[in-house]
Structure 1
Amino acid sequence: MNTTVSINPTTEKEIASYERISQKEAFKKIDKANKTYHSWKKTSLEERSKFMYNLADILDKNKEKYAILATEEMGKILKQSEAEIEKCAMICRYYAKNIETLIADKHIETEAHKSYVTFQPLGVTLAVMPWNFPFYQVIRFASPAVMTGNVGVLKHASNVQGCAFALEDAFKKAGFPDGVFTNLNVSSSEIKNIIAHKSIVAVTLTGSEPAGRSVAEIAGKNLKKSVLELGGSDAYIILEDVDLEKVTDLALYGRLQNNGQTCIAAKRFIVLEKIYDDFLTLFTKKMKNAKMGNPTEKDSYYGPLARVDLRDELHQQVQKTIEEGGKLILGGQIPKQKGAYYPATILTDLKPGMTAFDEELFGPVASVIKAKDEDEAIKLANNSAFGLGSGVFTSDVKRGEKIALQLEAGNSFVNKLVASDPRLPFGGIKNSGYGRELSGYGIKEFVNTKTIWVD
């Protein structure tokens, strides 16, 4: 039987297996979703909001159960899994409350008796989602898509199918009609044919750069709209006037949150020469003292990576960087224990062209880079194929804002770690993808922005 298997990355033991469906079965589900769409798009915003509020309540009531499932399937610290579920419920309530304002008609003065822009749903949207935030990534796409009158089908990562089916069940329990949200447990090899299916109108993907290129190519050939969020190598500029104690606390959390597996994690710390040594000393101490352990234990600061193969790939990137001339300050060795663990690691003496400078390191590995002055720091930050998140730490907020405006990224934060917020657009530039999610900007990615002229 063709199945996907969930492996606990902490114990390396099988949690559960899920039967994969065939392409024929997937197409039947897509056809059903399309049929549901034609009735769902006619429902009132009030009715959609009622179901979305119900979904938020279900997420809250089952927070502990869902959090345990996420931690078991991908290794996230349990309290961070709980926070993920809480954020999902918050997003559901945000769109349930604000949908009328977000997609309100926009009246425009012309020679017409009446002219305006209206925002109408398109149909069945495919989401190809990653494992690192197995609930949030899905809700981030599904909540706004469903509230606009679209329906969604999900191709989730194979190692978090338990979370995928839990979400499908939650939508049903919330009262959404069958077909509004559907999980497709299919092989990645089926994505090409699914995108090409006549009822799929658009695709959104969060994942790796190669996966994004592949999906964009298929979507382009089939003239389907796509939105891509492909991760990054986020740079944080540390100016000489910071509170080092506070900044190193943020740097620690920014690099080890979600076990280092976050697209918008702080990955490259570009520190001005004047405070470089002091920053590195204090940051190294805190990274060394952060406890790596079982993600269900309260005193664990970070847990294992999601899979052993991902851990091994990360280690290869670290080793390659050292061979290229990078200096290993901390960590860098695979521990002799069960689980996909990798220790908090710091690399320095990095230059453009080195693996840790150029590539995304998806795990608890920090790149610390020295800059002689502010101008060089900005150049180093922008010397990247990626452009998702970026940040500046300084006691002078006007200076920080000025620098943030010069950083080439979809998100630039001053004195705060980059985070997504449903009130603000989220997405990247360069190889970090295109399009936006969340807010009034993201909700309009998958609608027909339609002109109405009445003479």
Structure 2
Amino acid sequence: IENVFSQAGFPRGTFQTMMVKGNMIARLIARGEVKAVSFTGSSETGKKVAAESGRHMKKFVLELGGSDPFIVLKDADLEVAAREAVRARFLNAGQSCTAAKRIIVDESVAKEFTGTFLERTRELKVDDPTSPETDMGPLVSEQQMNKIQRQIDETLSMGAEALLDGGPREGNGFFFMPTVLTNIRESDPVMQEETFGPVAPIITFKDEEEAVNLANNTKFGLGASVWSDDRDRFMNLISNIQAGFITINQVVEEDPRLPFGGFKESGMGRMLYRIGMQEFMQLKSLKIY
């Protein structure tokens, strides 16, 4: 990115890449040259960045964690929804803040949806991420691999069932095979925590009110996707979902034509579009008589 800025003709130093330790962040924020702060990362670290920015009266934007719901209504195209759910959940091995981390399906179509979802998931090739034939690469670290395994183990101990029991793969690298869980409860770790890895919990609902309650029962509120062919139904649903970015019949992906950001512990402020630009502007009012 730094090279792109330079090639575009920006003055030297406009964009700088700095590899610093966490204890340097407060010192950087405090510097007079820094007028505003943008942070992408965990909610815990985001709170610290917000506190430091506030201490020095500097504007800030936070894009933090997410536990996006993937809601499938009974009138959805189930083949398409299941295919896209696999992509939404397992892209980048599930290591994305906007990944579909909770799959919420109408109980009347859950069996059909789950069958197709499992079939598609089993087709995923887990291997070298630089290979064009690979669908899913490794996790970022052993620590993250252990955290995902802990979340799965605790959820299974609370009564969940593994339809596809993945787990760490033997050999080099932090590869974690896709895992699909059912018989999920709202209080399970995979529903209440951000699962930054390839584990897909599937939970069912009886009516749309329950679907909304399931979607909102989280401390996060980054994105959500709703799958339905009934406009009145999905419009009524999305008006009650607590998320900053909602898609219909499409996985959640940032779009520079729209502001992006979350509710609750998923962040503050917005990035992208003109609203995102205004986050880093100081407005000045002028009256001439």
TM-score, scaled relative to structure 2 = 0.96
3-state DSSP of counterpart to 2:23:
helix
The alpha carbon displacement at 1:173 in A equals 3.3
The alpha carbon displacement at 1:327 in A equals 2.0
1:230 aligned partner: 64
Alignment of 1:139-178 (within 5 A): 167-178=1-12
1:280 aligned partner: 114
Alignment of 1:204-283 (within 5 A): 204-283=38-117
Deviating runs (4+, > 6 A) in structure 1?
none
Q: Deviations over 1:219-261 (max 9, x none)?
A: 1122111110112100021111122111111101111112211
3-state DSSP of counterpart to 2:195:
coil
* Cα root mean square deviation, aligned: 1.3
Q: 2:14 aligns with which of 180, 188, 198?
A: 180
Q: Is the 8 A contact 1:304 1:340 kept in 2?
A: yes
Cα distance between partner residues in 1 of 2:76 and 2:16: 48
Q: 1:436 aligns with which of 270, 276, 281?
A: 270
Cα distance between partner residues in 2 of 1:304 and 1:397: 39
Cα distance between partner residues in 2 of 1:432 and 1:273: 29
1:310 aligned partner: 144
Count of equivalent residues: 289
Unaligned runs of 5+ in 2: none
Does residue 425 (structure 1) correspond to residue 259 (structure 2)? The answer is yes
Unaligned runs of 5+ in 1: 1-166
The alpha carbon displacement at 1:422 in A equals 0.8
Code of the aligned partner of 1:268 = R
Cα distance between partner residues in 2 of 1:404 and 1:248: 20
Q: Is the 8 A contact 1:401 1:414 kept in 2?
A: no
The alpha carbon displacement at 1:309 in A equals 2.2
Does residue 450 (structure 1) correspond to residue 284 (structure 2)? The answer is yes
Q: Deviations over 1:30-54 (max 9, x none)?
A: xxxxxxxxxxxxxxxxxxxxxxxxx
1:155 aligned partner: none
Q: Is the 8 A contact 2:216 2:242 kept in 1?
A: yes
Q: Is the 8 A contact 1:426 1:438 kept in 2?
A: yes
Cα distance between partner residues in 1 of 2:156 and 2:278: 45
Alignment of 1:185-196 (within 5 A): 185-196=19-30
The alpha carbon displacement at 1:335 in A equals 0.9
3-state DSSP of counterpart to 2:108:
helix
The alpha carbon displacement at 1:207 in A equals 0.5
Does residue 296 (structure 1) correspond to residue 130 (structure 2)? The answer is yes
1:379 aligned partner: 213
Cα distance between partner residues in 1 of 2:141 and 2:5: 28
Q: Is the 8 A contact 2:37 2:58 kept in 1?
A: yes
3-state DSSP of counterpart to 2:111:
helix
Structure having the higher helix fraction is 1
The alpha carbon displacement at 1:420 in A equals 0.9
Alignment of 1:126-141 (within 5 A): none
Q: 2:174 aligns with which of 328, 340, 344?
A: 340
TM-score, scaled relative to structure 1 = 0.62
Cα distance between partner residues in 1 of 2:190 and 2:165: 14
3-state DSSP of counterpart to 1:205:
strand
The alpha carbon displacement at 1:185 in A equals 1.8
Cα distance between partner residues in 2 of 1:243 and 1:170: 41
Moved more, 259-268 or 308-317: 308-317
Q: Is the 8 A contact 1:347 1:367 kept in 2?
A: yes
Q: Deviations over 1:387-419 (max 9, x none)?
A: 000111012123112211211100111111111
Q: Is the 8 A contact 1:293 1:304 kept in 2?
A: yes
1:163 aligned partner: none
The alpha carbon displacement at 1:308 in A equals 2.6
Q: Is the 8 A contact 1:404 1:413 kept in 2?
A: no
Cα distance between partner residues in 2 of 1:272 and 1:441: 36
Does residue 322 (structure 1) correspond to residue 150 (structure 2)? The answer is no
Q: Is the 8 A contact 1:397 1:414 kept in 2?
A: no
Moved more, 194-203 or 227-236: 194-203
1:409 aligned partner: 243
Q: Is the 8 A contact 1:264 1:389 kept in 2?
A: yes
